[in-house]
């Protein structure tokens, strides 16, 4: 199985019906160096979801970025996306692996439960996501995760750890310092006046921590 180096800003798309606008916004993030994009639109019907997933997958290909589909393994196959992200109500990692094949990326939401993450890695997950670390404007039914979970998880996991939930430029550095490999951000990225500069600022946090670690 291929190991995927998931690192830096991990962009999660907002619920937008206008496909052109969605692609324009995503392109700004890609131009800033974002290499992982998750397509997530809870308000779209099947037809719109397919249209948007196809457009975003093609866009990510143009920028050498990875396209991840939230929840829908069938959609990931239809548009030949790079992988899926699974939640608690989706299929098991092992089932998704059989469905998608050995080289697709599978991420798993583990909320605030290290045990879930350990189990997901054993089943073949490529990365896990913990959160919410802060109050989220995207999802209101979240559980609270402690920043200490990130450093603790580093002692048990050999796959990338993604932090999610209410992350902004003002609070993100704390999560990076505690050891997360990537920051999954929606609202604080796409609801800004300049998506490109915001994305660059998020990625700079990882460059800064690498510089400190190597000095």
Enzyme catalytic residues: 40, 109, 139
Structure tokens at 201: 């600022």
Q: Is residue 185 within 8 Å of 165, Cβ to Cβ?
A: no
Q: Distance between terminal CA atoms of the chain?
A: 33
């Amino acid at each position: 199985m291929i190991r995927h180096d998931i690192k830096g800003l991990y962009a999660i798309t907002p619920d937008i019906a206008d496909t052109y606008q969605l692609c324009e916004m995503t392109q700004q993030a890609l131009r800033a160096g974002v290499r992982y994009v998750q397509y997530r639109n809870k308000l779209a019907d099947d037809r719109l979801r397919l249209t948007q997933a196809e457009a975003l997958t093609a866009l990510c290909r143009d920028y050498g970025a990875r396209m991840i589909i939230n929840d829908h393994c069938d959609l990931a196959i239809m548009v030949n996306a790079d992988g899926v992200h699974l939640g608690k109500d989706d299929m098991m990692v092992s089932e998704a692996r059989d469905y998608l094949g050995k080289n697709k990326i599978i991420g798993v939401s583990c909320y605030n439960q290290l045990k879930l993450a350990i189990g997901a890695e054993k089943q073949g997950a490529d990365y896990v996501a913990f959160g919410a670390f802060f109050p989220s404007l995207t999802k209101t039914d979240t559980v609270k995760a402690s920043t200490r979970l990130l450093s603790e998880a580093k002692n048990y996991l050999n796959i990338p750890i993604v932090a999610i939930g209410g992350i902004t430029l003002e609070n993100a550095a704390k999560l990076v310092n505690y050891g997360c490999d990537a920051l999954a951000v929606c609202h604080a990225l796409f609801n800004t006046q300049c998506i490109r500069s915001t994305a660059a600022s998020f990625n700079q946090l990882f460059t800064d921590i690498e510089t400190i670690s190597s000095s």
